[in-house]
Amino acid sequence: MPGADHWPDLPYEPWRDTAVSLQLWTQIIGKIRVSLTPWLNHGWQVPLYVTARGLGTSPIPVDGENLELEFDFINHRLVARTSRGEVETLPLEPQAVADFYRRVIGLLARIGVAVSINEMPNEIPDAIPFSQDRSHTAYDAPAAHRFWRALIPIDRVFKLFRSGFLGKASPVHFFWGSFDLAVTRFSGRTAPLHPGGVPNLPDAVTREAYSHEVSSAGFWPGSDAFPHAAFYSYAYPEPPGFRDRKMTRGGYFDAKLGEFILRYDELRATPDPDVLLLDFLSATYAAAADCGHWDRAALECPFGVPAKVRPM
């Protein structure tokens, strides 16, 4: 049975400084994975994943062995493990990004992993190189724990939603650049060249990520531009009529953001948050698929059921 913190309260302002620091810390860990892992379509080799204790990289190949890095939001430490049996940790506590960066590189050196990363944060305006950033120092352990606890049920519902699609669909990814949990469905058709222009992200990366038509949905904890935890959904390219589609209760199209929004607080206020979230994901996907003339009959299937083979 889920605990009392199954859908924890997640107001943005009280943990804003911690969220900013944590985004930068996850970027350091994510960039280590980028430096060591072969490129995969749509940048799928870069994300983190929700784990039983926090957020982790999954295995990274290094010199014929595996390395895993995990943010443990229960004991509040970063953990590095290798397939040789080494385990190294460093505490998650208030510290400058520059100090966290230096300590991570030192931790890896102790287990024989030498890595060089691009120190400039991605998708953040006015970014500061990691080794020079002494402006962001916050870490509120209970707030970080609540954020991770919110990701657990969201990850579960996103994975159920993914199971209802026979076409190409992404795993449920935590993208450290945009600091969001996301899942994406593909029509199977190529897309127009993306215009790029994402702050501190090479246009080549953006264009490769959006090389094919998508309906993408996700969750982010808020930002200064939109200080509310919320679910979102968008289509690229956006087909005519997409933003005018009728939406599930609480959902609406935000013209400034260019995507459908369902606020996390709206979800928490319902008797069955899982149902409302699944409805939002399904309705926004249907808007993209219908307006974009996807072959829905060929691409869709019923949601998966544990221990039952999908009927043919």
If asked whether residues 295 and 181 sit together in one domain, one would say yes
If asked whether residues 295 and 170 sit together in one domain, one would say yes
Query: What's the Cα-to-Cα distance from 262 to each of 142, 225, 267, rounded to whole Å?
Result: 25, 16, 8
**Two structure tokens written together for 259:** 């995507």
If asked whether residues 150 and 121 sit together in one domain, one would say no
Q: Where are the beta strands (DSSP E) in 173-274?
A: 173-175, 180-190, 212-220, 230-236, 252-254, 259-263
Residue 184 belongs to some domain of the structure: yes
If asked whether residues 164 and 290 sit together in one domain, one would say yes
Average pLDDT for the chain: 96
**Residue 65, φ and ψ in degrees, nearest 5:** -120, 180
If asked whether residues 283 and 145 sit together in one domain, one would say yes
**Residue 178, φ and ψ in degrees, nearest 5:** -95, -5
- Residue range 51-83, pLDDT digits in tens: 999 999 999 999 999 999 999 999 999 999 999
pLDDT tier for residue 312 given thresholds of 50, 70 and 90: confident
Residue 204 belongs to some domain of the structure: yes
If asked whether residues 92 and 18 sit together in one domain, one would say yes
Residue 309 belongs to some domain of the structure: no
Q: Which residues contact 90 (CB under 8 A, 6 or more apart)?
A: 77, 78, 103, 104, 107
Query: Using an 8 Å Cβ cutoff, are 181 and 219 in contact?
Result: yes
Q: How many angstroms separate the CA atoms of 53 and 43, rounded?
A: 24
pLDDT tier for residue 296 given thresholds of 50, 70 and 90: very high
pLDDT of 4 above 60: no
**Could you say which of 75, 97, 132 is where a domain stops?**
132
Name the residue range of residue 80's domain.
13-132
pLDDT tier for residue 1 given thresholds of 50, 70 and 90: very low
If asked whether residues 123 and 145 sit together in one domain, one would say no
**Could you say which of 132, 162, 188 is where a domain stops?**
132
CB neighbours of residue 237 within 10 Å: 13
User: Angle 308-311-312 (CA atoms, 0-180°, nearest 5)?
Assistant: 150
If asked whether residues 155 and 288 sit together in one domain, one would say yes
Residue 311 belongs to some domain of the structure: no
If asked whether residues 121 and 159 sit together in one domain, one would say no
Span 147-161, average pLDDT: 98
If asked whether residues 295 and 187 sit together in one domain, one would say yes
- Give residue 304's Cα distance to chain centre: 22
pTM of the full predicted structure? Answer: 0.96
- Residue range 180-238, pLDDT digits in tens: 999 999 999 999 999 999 999 999 999 999 999 999 999 999 999 999 999 999 999 99
If asked whether residues 205 and 268 sit together in one domain, one would say yes
* Domains contained in the chain, number: 2
Q: How many angstroms separate the CA atoms of 92 and 124, rounded?
A: 22
pLDDT tier for residue 100 given thresholds of 50, 70 and 90: very high
Residue 35 belongs to some domain of the structure: yes
DSSP state, residue 216: E
If asked whether residues 61 and 95 sit together in one domain, one would say yes
